[in-house]
Structure 1
Amino acid sequence: MLKLKGNAMSLNLAAPRFSGPVDPKPVDLGVLPSELDGGLASRAAIGLVVLATDQTLEHEFRALVRQPGVAFYESRVFSDNDITTDTLRAIGPRIAPAVDLILPSISLDVVAFGCTSATMTLGEEAVFAEIRKARPNVACTTPVTAALAAFKALDVKGIGLLTPYAPQINENLVAYFSGRGVGISAVATFDRRDDRDAARIAVASIEAAAEQMAAAPGVDAVFISCTSLRIAEAAAGLEQRIGVPVTSSNHAMAWHCLRLAGINDVVPGGRLFGLPSN
């Protein structure tokens, strides 16, 4: 207890709880029996590469990947706050060293690279090649890969694409998806080019934008691109209000990680989380 006397402070230590004689040596119980179980990842272990600037992805994965026996383990990869084509390309050679840090010598079922725009800039196969330098033959996904799988599972023909990116990056993303046979019926951006700002876009703003996008002709699903945008936990309620499926970079990637790992549990998370991966 601290006691103040005038301007001086003194420390009054409490009396020891035990005042009797103490045996100087504890009882040695030796080596006790123990059993090994499957650990936290007894059903599936997911590796996750997260951008150094990302404030959202891990939080949303914790909300969506919570099945018993399933665990994910992260590594961070350096990235610039400014989202430009050049800064996105620079991430490529950093992916393999980041993957190498995730549970060395322990098997992973899936490795996911958590950046939508970098995947589009580098190309999915280039990202997979980097991942497999550290984890040969592992199942891989990215937000782009997962989104394409989600669109197929949901059987959507035209999507509304909502991003925080610069218009040039949006144009590239539209071209990338279109080249993979995805119809883009509407596109919009918040034009927040600093990843720190993208993470702070209010959920209400994202929901309002998605609602406006869902009303555009030809939109039968909304895809909210960028792992920094916070929408995964609100996706189920939002799609009920606007009448079309809603998914996002993190939402789709969490679902795809589970399905690639052989986890087919139907769990809360919106329409997508009730579907298998085709």
Structure 2
Amino acid sequence: MPDVQGWRAKFGVLGPSTNTIVQPDFDAMRPMGVTNHYSRIFTPNANAVSNESSRAGTEVIAGNVLDAVRSVMTCKPDYLVMGMSAVTFFDGAKGADAFVKKVEDEAGVKISVGSHACAAALNAYGGVKRIAFLSPYWPVINAEVKRYFGDMGFETVRETCLQCKSWTAIAEVTEDTLRGVLRELDGDDVDAIVQVGTNLSMVRLAAAAEMWLGKPVVAINTATYWHALRANGIKDQMQGFGRLLSDF
């Protein structure tokens, strides 16, 4: 018998314990009959004040992922959705595939991750070759993001890393700041703009930016949840979250 609330799909959502953006973002995009069940990956709110500390803090999150997987699997979800992006870009496309395999082997169900979801989103729009991206990260992690997109056939023309000072500080970045970054990244030499870093609140701003920039603007939380819905045969189209959810 199907779950009376999640009769179409039960999603187990994995995200750092410091992340306050993914849960409300995913719930805002949730169609009737789909339920989200958040499992927090234990993450100390480490200060990220250098390339080294930023990378080290991210590795701590990666090391605790499987504990969160085991926890959420007790509610018998049909599918997993990764609400943390940095580790899914590490070591390029091969590293992303290895991460997916590790989680799926443990869980016994499939997962959508931010890196592959963003690539799928760019391909869905069509005609995207040159991108710009922004992140809350430090340069050492931006380099991993750029490497991944290169592996997937996208040329990074420009990038910005906001160098947020802690994991919770990422959620404090204002729309005014992000709007300015989008304008700096845009140009005739860019086919699309991508935002990575799941604790950065951009799903609605990205949707609005598509209208005033006239090109795809992909927010990673939108891409990841869209990917999970479509992977489960859920084709509902929604307004307010950009063309990805309304058109594809």
Q: TM-score, normalised by structure 1?
A: 0.79
State the one-letter code of the partner of 1:73: H
Q: 1:175 aligns with which of 133, 137, 147?
A: 147
Confirm or deny that 1:44 pairs with 2:9.
Answer: yes
Match of 2:193 in 1: 222
State the one-letter code of the partner of 2:19: D
The farther-off stretch of 168-177 and 255-264 is 168-177
Q: Is the 8 A contact 2:129 2:153 kept in 1?
A: no
Match of 1:28 in 2: none
Structure with bigger gyration radius? 1
The farther-off stretch of 155-164 and 96-105 is 96-105
Confirm or deny that 1:118 pairs with 2:87.
Answer: yes
Q: Is the 8 A contact 1:110 1:260 kept in 2?
A: no
> Cα 1:245–1:37, aligned 2, differ >3 Å: closer, same or farther?
same
Confirm or deny that 1:95 pairs with 2:65.
Answer: yes
Deviation at 1:105, TM superposition (A): 5.6
Q: Distance in 2 between matches of 1:140 and 1:175?
A: 22
Stretches of structure 1 lacking an aligned partner (at least 5 in a row): 1-35
Stretches of structure 2 lacking an aligned partner (at least 5 in a row): 49-53
Q: Secondary structure at the match of 1:192?
A: coil
Q: Is the 8 A contact 1:51 1:78 kept in 2?
A: yes
Confirm or deny that 1:158 pairs with 2:130.
Answer: yes
Deviation at 1:111, TM superposition (A): 0.7
Match of 1:53 in 2: 18
Q: 1:212 aligns with which of 163, 184, 188?
A: 184
Q: Is the 8 A contact 2:133 2:194 kept in 1?
A: yes
Among all aligned residue pairs of Structure 1 and Structure 2, give the percentage whose two residues are the same amino acid. 25
Cα deviation 1:226-271 (Å, max 9, x = unaligned)? 0011111222222111111111121111111111111111111111
Confirm or deny that 1:146 pairs with 2:117.
Answer: yes
Q: Distance in 2 between matches of 1:193 and 1:223?
A: 21
Match of 1:260 in 2: 231
The farther-off stretch of 82-91 and 138-147 is 82-91
Cα deviation 1:83-110 (Å, max 9, x = unaligned)? 522222233332222111115162x332
**Count of aligned pairs:** 237
Cα deviation 1:113-159 (Å, max 9, x = unaligned)? 222112222622232233224321x2211111110110111112111
Q: Distance in 2 between matches of 1:186 and 1:141?
A: 26
